[in-house]
A = this chain, B = another copy of it.
Amino acid sequence: VVSPDVLPDRRVTFRLLAPKAAEVTLTGEFLPASADSSGPPSLIRMTKGADGLWTTTVGPVEPETYHYHFTVDGVRTLDPGNPDLKTGSTPATIMNVLVVPGDQPAFYDGRAVPHGEIRTHWYESTSLGTLRRMTVYVPPGYDRSPATRYPVLYLLHGANADETAWTRFGRVNLILDNLLADKRAVPFVVVMPFGYGVPPMGTGVQAQNTAKFSEDLRQDVLPFVEGRYRVHADRDHRAIAGLSMGGGQALSIGLNHLELFSHVAGFSAALGSANDFSKPYASLIANAAASNRTLRLLWVGCGTSDSLFGASKNFSTFLNEHRITHVFRATDGAHTWMVWRRYLNELAPMLFR
């Protein structure tokens, strides 16, 4: 059973052999987003053939890398024809991957250009008392340039993910390799820590989680990186960005620690339930002119189909009210890796210029 089957006109056929099933549906990021992306995603009911083979054809679909899954009689089921998986720390975050290739390599595809490396470290977090991992990208030529020091982007993952998400699904290394080959960015190191400071998020623990993670980041991750890598250990050469939960963390930690970071970005940020940002961002707005002189870049972006769009928009309004200079990007898209890869590709050329 071939599934997914990408046809020459970029329509895609999905197939599942399930003779005993009464209903099979397909859910995928290539389907039109529902009006409210916090609600159930769009579904397509698949059609059963006489042989027990369920099929549906969608598209033509724009060239992209999408996530999808089946539901068989109410049981969430991965496509058994497709071993390419997007993993996560909860069942709802595990999906199949559909790649619809374009005529040219995408900005996140591997090309015949110089390549950086990805390094995985295990370290003892003294602030949290546990063994943790971090992922580090070093740009092409890092080991052959012993006299060069680099700036650092701290790049945070979202909820139900980990320190491997940005390399596995975000393609951070290939995006940066390509930008560097095209001379569209300056070389920098990317550090991707594990963003949970307390056991996985429930209602109301985001603030506590961010506080604990902030300790690990500032007291363990930064010293580890600055002791092991040839990086500039000053605020002018540190950026912090993240997506969703990590977007909220990047804005909260970055904007409350301008002594540590000069570039701050939130992608589809989870900004918490507070409508009033003046208390959590009190130090930022206390002296807007001083903050604006110190901040080299503040970037906030969200897809307009994302249920978190309102939060980013409110945050931008809050920043405007307090005359904090920033970039606000309202783009197409929902709460997906498609959006976050594009944001990284847009942000990276603006860093450390």
Contacts and interface: CB of A to CB of B under 8 A. Distances in A.
Interface of A: 16-22, 72-78, 80-83, 85, 87-91, 93-94, 110-112, 115, 117-124, 131, 143, 167, 173-174, 177, 228
Contacts of A112: 124, 131
Contacts of A76: 80
Given A74-B20, A117-B119, A117-B121, A143 B80 contact: no
A83 B75 contact: no
Given A87-B87, A119-B117, A21 B80 contact: no
Given A91-B80, A94-B83, A143-B228, A75 B72 contact: yes
Contacts of A17: 74-75
Given A72-B75, A73-B21, A131-B112, A87 B83 contact: yes
Contacts of A118: 119-120
Nearest to A132: B110
Nearest to A111: B131
Nearest to A129: B112
A178 to B, nearest CB: 12
A91 B167 CA distance: 23
13 contacts: A18-B73, A20-B22, A21-B75, A72-B72, A72-B75, A75-B80, A77-B78, A81-B91, A82-B91, A83-B90, A115-B121, A115-B123, A143-B228
Contacts of A18: 73-75
A9 B156 CA distance: 39
Given A16-B75, A20-B22, A83-B87, 12 more contacts: A18-B74, A19-B73, A20-B74, A75-B80, A77-B78, A83-B88, A83-B89, A83-B90, A85-B87, A110-B122, A111-B131, A122-B174
Contacts of A19: 73-74
A122 B74 CA distance: 41
Contacts of A87: 83, 85, 87
Contacts of A177: 122
A80 B112 CA distance: 39
A121 B76 CA distance: 35
A94 B82 CA distance: 10
Nearest to A90: B83
Contacts of A121: 115, 117
Contact of A78 (B78, B90, B123): B78
A236 to B, nearest CB: 25
A256 to B, nearest CB: 31
Nearest to A18: B75
